Amino acid sequence: MTTPLVECVPNFSEGRDRAKIKRITDAIEAAGGVTLLNVDPGMDTHRTVVTFVGSPEAVERAAFAGIATAAQVIDMRVHSGAHPRMGATDVCPFVPVEGVTMEECAAIARRLGERVGRELGIPVYLYEAAAAMPERRNLADVRRGEYEGLAKKLADPAWKPDFGPAAMNPGAGATVIGARPFLIAYNVNLNSTDKNHASDLAFALREKGRVARSGNTAPYYSRGKKLSYREGSFPCGSCTFVGKSYDEVAAHCTSEHHYDLGELLRSNDLDPPKVVGKNVYRPGLFKACKAIGWYVKDYDRAQVSINLTNFHLTPPHEVLEASRKLASERGLLVTGSEIVGVVPMAAMMQAGKHYLHKQGRTLGQPVPDILNTAVRSLGLTDVAPFHVREKVLGLPVVPAGALVQRTVIDFTDEVSRDSPAPGGGSVAALAGALGAALASMVANLTYGKEGTEERDPELARVAEEAQRIKDQLIAAVDADSDAFQGFMDALRLPQGTPEEKATRIRKMQEGLKAAVQVPWSTAEASYAAMQLARSVVTHGNPNSLSDGAVGVQIAFAGVRGGLWNVMINLKDIQDPGYVAEKRTACANLLAQAKALAEEAASAVDERLVGMIEKR
């Protein structure tokens, strides 16, 4: 049910003329299939950051429309603003959100770059994950010299654009296109109005750290005495070590603290090894983390304002936990946190699972429960509302008219009506889903109790796997009633000429094979549900014995139902090799499922008899 989702965040060099900005965003929306999430114009920067999401195909199309329109409405010859820039569309990153890899986003960037260069005559540089060479990964390096230095840059063979002409496009300048991780704008709220407290935490968290101090640094680091490098005295910012030379302290930082001192100093605008007379720096706790402290009037609170530039490396919940610890050492309290804009589902699921695990629960919970755990544990409603549907990107999509959206009464009534769908296939899928759900239930009820230590790993595995199988089978409830769509479409094809007749028959046959795949998947997944339910019959709480037993039997109905639906569709397929192969596969799966159903039933009966007789 998860559909691939990509975010695109183009920056346009127009922040003042609302009409021009609207022409660009109108073009993006008119390309179709994308949702405009945010338009953020800046007067001083004279620049607008636009954020939209959609399928990989849709964002690629919409980004091109935006770049083409920006080239028409913006003239770089008369542009000046406070932000570095070199083109009308200055930078255009693609960001994987859900069901898409970074490499797929880099491929979108390359395709778009080629098209922008060819059709619009704009020089294009690729950056970050799409960069063709390491010296073009960093946006600041690519943009150095800005629009004013662009003619000179284009003339330099080392800076030949990746796509488009190596010649000046005076109106549009050049565009930097690429792929990068999702940026999460994340604020941690303190029970204080003092900005200094927030700044102190920010410096301790962020990658570039802070000026190192000595003496009276605990718990308020800023009360210590600033350290600086002197001739023959090169203190380490992280401990009391003092090197005799820059090289000595740099080697110490690498071996003792595992960080690159040169990188740290450069991120603080120093020019190592020429550091004599300059401040010593101490790195923060997290990579890919930028942070400052501020006071927010609307909330009357001090906040640590954080940008997480790679949440796979540094996820929000880890930063929050560190903030809670640092705050408590300073007599402060973290009252909650805030997501500015949107957050990928993956980051929320990771946070939810982190806290579920710490709370002694299995990770086999329904997706909405995991997301709610994340919202509550991160304290995301502390200063503003947090509506999961609006704030989380990449949630599974269930169409409004889907069968699985109906109530149990309504669905059952729908099955009973004189229309052929939904029928046995959808009911079989639902049966399998319920079997998996029962397996998850018993595993979760049993897990983590007195005396279950040895069984806990298996129970945790069953709970998590059962959720996955359940969600797959829930999706199959609707997929089954749509399974014949291809066959139905083929039925309606014209049959005037012999060629048309042949095409129609070929398409009908293809439709039938596609219709076989859905119940086959239902049967396979239902068998997996049987195995999970069988496991909790043995490992689950004895009071839940009948729940596990029902799970095995109802999931067996899912296997049987799926296989019968495969067989009924096979009778009309004319490819004997395909039919023979499927028949063998069906026979094998049926034999396994039958044996498991019988064995599980006997085991349950035996234990129940034993329990009664032991009374």
Interface residues with Zn ion (CB under 5 A)? Answer: 236, 238-239, 241, 256
Q: Residues 79, 480, 539, 547: which is the catalytic one?
A: 480
Which pair of structure tokens corresponds to residue 245? Answer: 């030379």
Q: Helix 345-358 crosses helix 316-329 at what angle (to 10 degrees)?
A: 50
Q: CB–CB of 94/8 below 8 Å? A: yes
Q: Residues 17, 26, 40, 83: which is the catalytic one?
A: 83
Q: How far, in Å, CA of 61 to CA of 32, rounded?
A: 8
The residue (of 38 and 254) whose beta carbon lies closer to Zn ion is 254
- The closest alpha carbon to 62, from 86, 90, 88, 92, belongs to 92
The residue (of 110 and 282) whose beta carbon lies closer to Zn ion is 282
> 10 Å Cβ neighbour count for 502?
11
83 is catalytic: yes
Q: CB of residue 235 vs Zn ion: minimum separation in angstroms?
A: 9
- The closest alpha carbon to 41, from 69, 8, 81, belongs to 81
Which pair of structure tokens corresponds to residue 83? Answer: 């932000």
The residue (of 215 and 542) whose beta carbon lies closer to Zn ion is 215
Q: CB of residue 471 vs Zn ion: minimum separation in angstroms?
A: 49
Which pair of structure tokens corresponds to residue 206? Answer: 């962020």
- The DSSP annotation for 514-581 comes to HHHHHHHHHHHHHHHHHHHHHHHHHHS-GGGHHHHHHHHHHHHHHHHHHHHHHHHHHTT---HHHHHH
Within its chain, how far is the Cα of 225 from the centroid? 43
Question: Side chain identity at 89, as an amino acid letter?
Answer: T
Q: How far, in Å, CA of 186 to CA of 164, rounded?
A: 37
Q: CB of residue 195 vs Zn ion: minimum separation in angstroms?
A: 30
As a dihedral over the C-alpha atoms of residue 382, residue 388, residue 390, residue 394, rounded to 10 degrees, the angle is: 130
DSSP E strand stretches across 273-347: 281-282, 289-296, 301-308, 334-340, 343-344
The residue (of 243 and 548) whose beta carbon lies closer to Zn ion is 243
H-helix or E-strand containing 184?
strand 184-190
Q: CB–CB of 431/526 below 8 Å? A: yes
The residue (of 270 and 603) whose beta carbon lies closer to Zn ion is 270
Q: How far, in Å, CA of 413 to CA of 354, rounded?
A: 41
Residue appearing with tokens 């001090």: 302
Is 213 strand, coil or helix?
A: strand
Q: How far, in Å, CA of 296 to CA of 280, rounded?
A: 31
Q: CB–CB of 287/299 below 8 Å? A: no
Q: How far, in Å, CA of 112 to CA of 56, rounded?
A: 11
> 10 Å Cβ neighbour count for 239?
13
Q: CB of residue 251 vs Zn ion: minimum separation in angstroms?
A: 11
- The closest alpha carbon to 122, from 265, 17, 13, belongs to 13
Q: CB of residue 241 vs Zn ion: minimum separation in angstroms?
A: 4
The residue (of 103 and 256) whose beta carbon lies closer to Zn ion is 256
As a dihedral over the C-alpha atoms of residue 212, residue 217, residue 222, residue 224, rounded to 10 degrees, the angle is: -70
Q: How far, in Å, CA of 196 to CA of 223, rounded?
A: 12
Residue appearing with tokens 């035996």: 606
- Which residues lie below 8 Å from residue 492, measured CB to CB, with a gap of 6+? none
Q: How far, in Å, CA of 502 to CA of 498, rounded?
A: 6
As a dihedral over the C-alpha atoms of residue 375, residue 376, residue 379, residue 380, rounded to 10 degrees, the angle is: 30
The residue (of 132 and 239) whose beta carbon lies closer to Zn ion is 239
∠ Cα 26 28 30 (to 5°):
65
Q: CB of residue 234 vs Zn ion: minimum separation in angstroms?
A: 11
Q: CB–CB of 161/213 below 8 Å? A: no
Q: CB of residue 236 vs Zn ion: minimum separation in angstroms?
A: 3
247 is catalytic: no
Which residues are marked as active site? 83, 480
